[in-house]
Structure 1
Amino acid sequence: MALVAGGSPAVALSADTAQQAASSSGAGESPSALAAASGEPVEVVAERTEYTQTMANPDGTFTLTQSTTPQRVRADDGSWESVDATLERRVDGTVGPKAAVVHLAFSGGGSGKDLIRLSNDRGALTLGWPGQLPQPQLNGDTATYPEVLEGVDLKLTATAEGFREVLVVKSAAAAANPALEEIKLAAAGDGLRIEPGAGGGIRAVDGDGNTVFKGPAGLMWDSAGSTASGERASRTLRSLPPAQAQTAEEPPVDESARPGDGDASSILPVKVEEGAVTVEPDLELLRGEETVYPVFIDPPMGAGHSERTVLSSDGDRFWAFDGDYGLGKCGSADGYYCGNGYVNRILFEFAPTKLTGKKIIDATFRAYETWSFNCTAHWVDLKRTNNISEGTRWPGPSVLDHIGDTNISAGRGDNCSPSQPDSWVEFNDSSAETDENLSSTVQTFADGGIARLTLMLKAKDETDPRA
């Protein structure tokens, strides 16, 4: 099952509580009046943000769509443009994404003191590499600095909200370098204080103690797993916007993005010191007799606007994930192999933002499914849980409530008859099922009874690889 933009609850608001939104569009006929006259929804442009969109409906209500990943970026001139993490060289010599919700700059080479600068209107974080850097090679959203140590490349990948930093150790000879026994980056905050985060992670907080940027504990893995089978999980999630998700070709496997099935991995707590952050690689994994190179060492960092994570029963976790992720058990059935039997759950956490104080008429959680194990529908649950953080591990936070479920198979296209194309999957309260309560939960959220709303997608039967 694939979630578009990390999850998009769509909430209808009553006209009396949303009237301020209707009139905030400035001079001229209001969006509500235009919607009533045209019979079609009209956007309340003044209410648009990177993560939300408000539509005035012909019947006088409003629909708010809120996502956990940015759907658009506000340009310096105030206009809106699509998110584009493609890197480009800038006139000041740095490298950065074309359009992101943070200001991000990678070094263009030379001194390593300004390897990464991540900032927004609340402050800035700078990380420095201990030494000189070659000019980076750019490929899409990734800058590769070759041979920062002998046999070691440094890869920086831009995201819409931050970056991933991966050291690629290409051989046993490279792994023997004593410099890899402790990886220390200079760290400085401008208006921000750098401190330890949850579960061995790192946070940059403002003067009021609010988290501005955060990252989980580091993760390292080798290349022992095989991707030769080409099999996919029982259900696959994609974080592309819907238009892209329907047309994009299957992306090539990027082994430096995350561990694959069968890769040995280890979690690396980040140590925060005065003026520096440090990770100590697992030397047994780095230099072990059974280690398969290259080995990847990855500490990511990003904005703290919202949370999303994939948790695996084998101990892996993918905080602030992008790309495709499976849901349910990844095992073997009907002659097909997915993995060694680990189970994935996917969680999303929302801030109230535009919902605060509104009266909720209806609420829907939508997900976009791009693959299922076979053509037979299986049940997927939506649960409310306690909150998550960059330190959350399997099995995840405790479940507080069953929100809903759906029976679905999609994404196999013409492999099924009739065809099962990629499809939206919606969780919406059914009057026939009294235990489904998404709308009332979102109302409690809007009323302030829930500080942050965390929802988890899981297979109803986590013992069945087909589910």
Structure 2
Amino acid sequence: MPTARVEARRTGQPVELVSQRTETSRTYANPDGSFTSEISAGPERVKRNGTWHTIETSLAKRDGTLAPKVHPHDLRLNAGGGALPKSLRAARAAEPRDLASMGSGEQRITLQWKGGLPEPQLNGSKATYRNALPGADVIVEATQTGFEQFVRLRERPSGSYRYTLPLKTVGLKADEQNDGSVVFTDAAGRHRAVMPAPIMWDAAVDERSGLPANRHRVDMDVVPTGKNTVDLVITPDESWLTDPARQYPVTIDPSTSALSNTFDTYVQQGETRD
């Protein structure tokens, strides 16, 4: 710290105290002898082998999977494979395969997909598995702290629409909450990850906020299937999906996972949700 203060006074420029750097903060010595800390709400860098690396969520192929260039929780996505289901019924009967997995050591979460997956189209941090379900795409996006997975319905379904996402955990327990979310806790009872209550929205956009204008709650049942496995059964409201006023595509957003307690916030008058 004294060295940084001397260097800042000598050069007239702020000098970082590298020893004080963390995943979410950087501290600088100023020429006038004061200090300034820049703090972010979520992690911006990760330390590996004694060296700090800026988190970079752009996806690329690695060891038969897809992975961000730098991610704090070793996120891995499916690179595609297997026969695509020809119907929802066929998908529900298909064997599950890993879709997205993250964590390290004794704690890991793996979201699975029932049926084959096409080779995904990559766009930065987003992987799109087109036609993974009839008339629908599966999209997985790497985030700074985890991943987000959602299904995009390109066509109006003729009737009920339901699919299942198997979920495996290692070193974590999945508990369904009264608000429809799923919280993952470790052996000490600490919250390590969360899947908020799912919602869906159509293509209509609010002109003021630029956000979806029509949002609707999605039913999600958490069904235990084993010691460390559950099924997330996603059942969107049929009447909402088939409403003639609905603008397609419709996005169903059942799972956002993050091994942290951070979340994004926007501010809008009259809004009551995260």
| TM-score of the two chains, using structure 2 as the length reference | 0.81
Residue 298 (str. 1) matches residue 253 (str. 2): yes
- How far apart, CA to CA, are the structure 2 residues paired with 1:128 and 1:328? 35
Structure 2 residue aligned with 1:418: none
- Could you tell me which of 87, 106, 114 is aligned with 1:130? 114
Give the aligned residue type for 2:52.
W
Give the aligned residue type for 2:41.
T
Does the 8 Å contact 1:50/1:101 carry over to 2?
A: no
Deviation of the 1:96 alpha carbon: 1.6
- How far apart, CA to CA, are the structure 2 residues paired with 1:36 and 1:135? 55
Q: Which blocks of at least 5 consecutive residues in structure 2 are unaligned?
A: 83-95, 225-229
- Could you tell me which of 271, 282, 285 is aligned with 2:221? 271
- How far apart, CA to CA, are the structure 2 residues paired with 1:156 and 1:204? 20
Aligned sequence identity (%): 31
Give the aligned residue type for 2:53.
E
Residue 80 (str. 1) matches residue 52 (str. 2): yes
Alpha carbons of 1:185 and 1:226: their partners in 2 closer, same or farther (altered >3 Å)?
closer
Alpha carbons of 1:305 and 1:49: their partners in 2 closer, same or farther (altered >3 Å)?
farther
Structure 1 residue aligned with 2:85: none
- Could you tell me which of 116, 135, 151 is aligned with 1:151? 135
Residue 288 (str. 1) matches residue 243 (str. 2): yes
Deviation of the 1:290 alpha carbon: 2.5
Residue 40 (str. 1) matches residue 13 (str. 2): yes
Residue 52 (str. 1) matches residue 25 (str. 2): yes
Give the aligned residue type for 2:223.
E
Which is bigger in relative contact order (C-alpha 8 A, separation at least 6)?
Answer: 1
Deviation of the 1:208 alpha carbon: 0.9
What are the superposed Cα offsets for residues 253-307 of structure 1, whole Å, 9 maximum, x if unpaired? Answer: 8xxxxx523xx32122543331222332111112223322211101222232434
Q: Output aligned runs, 1:136-175, within 5 Å.
A: 136-172=120-156, 175=157
Structure 1 runs of 4+ aligned residues shifted over 4 Å read none
Structure 2 residue aligned with 1:189: 169
Give the aligned residue type for 2:137.
D
What are the superposed Cα offsets for residues 235-260 of structure 1, whole Å, 9 maximum, x if unpaired? Answer: xxxxxxxxxxxxxxxxxx8xxxxx52
Structure 1 SS opposite 2:19: helix
- How far apart, CA to CA, are the structure 2 residues paired with 1:308 and 1:152? 27
- How far apart, CA to CA, are the structure 1 residues paired with 2:30 and 2:219? 49
Give the aligned residue type for 2:264.
R
Alpha carbons of 1:141 and 1:58: their partners in 2 closer, same or farther (altered >3 Å)?
same
**What is the count of residue pairs matched by the alignment?**
255
Give the aligned residue type for 2:13.
E
Does the 8 Å contact 1:201/1:269 carry over to 2?
A: no
Alpha carbons of 1:286 and 1:304: their partners in 2 closer, same or farther (altered >3 Å)?
same
| TM-score of the two chains, using structure 1 as the length reference | 0.50
Residue 206 (str. 1) matches residue 201 (str. 2): no
Larger Cα-atom Rg: 1
- How far apart, CA to CA, are the structure 1 residues paired with 2:52 and 2:154? 41
- How far apart, CA to CA, are the structure 1 residues paired with 2:9 and 2:36? 14
Deviation of the 1:35 alpha carbon: 2.9
- How far apart, CA to CA, are the structure 2 residues paired with 1:120 and 1:36? 43
Structure 2 residue aligned with 1:104: 75
Structure 2 SS opposite 1:119: strand
Does the 8 Å contact 2:81/2:119 carry over to 1?
A: yes
Give the aligned residue type for 1:66.
I
Alpha carbons of 1:288 and 1:151: their partners in 2 closer, same or farther (altered >3 Å)?
same
Alpha carbons of 1:171 and 1:206: their partners in 2 closer, same or farther (altered >3 Å)?
same
Does the 8 Å contact 1:220/1:295 carry over to 2?
A: yes
- How far apart, CA to CA, are the structure 2 residues paired with 1:213 and 1:187? 13
Does the 8 Å contact 1:196/1:270 carry over to 2?
A: no
- How far apart, CA to CA, are the structure 1 residues paired with 2:27 and 2:105? 24
Give the aligned residue type for 1:65.
E
Structure 2 SS opposite 1:34: helix
Structure 2 residue aligned with 1:217: 197
Q: Output aligned runs, 1:285-434, within 5 Å.
A: 285-299=240-254, 300-310=256-266, 327-328=267-268, 343=270, 393-394=272-273
Structure 2 SS opposite 1:171: coil
- Could you tell me which of 143, 158, 165 is aligned with 1:176? 158
Deviation of the 1:122 alpha carbon: 6.4
Deviation of the 1:201 alpha carbon: 1.3
- How far apart, CA to CA, are the structure 2 residues paired with 1:270 and 1:280? 6
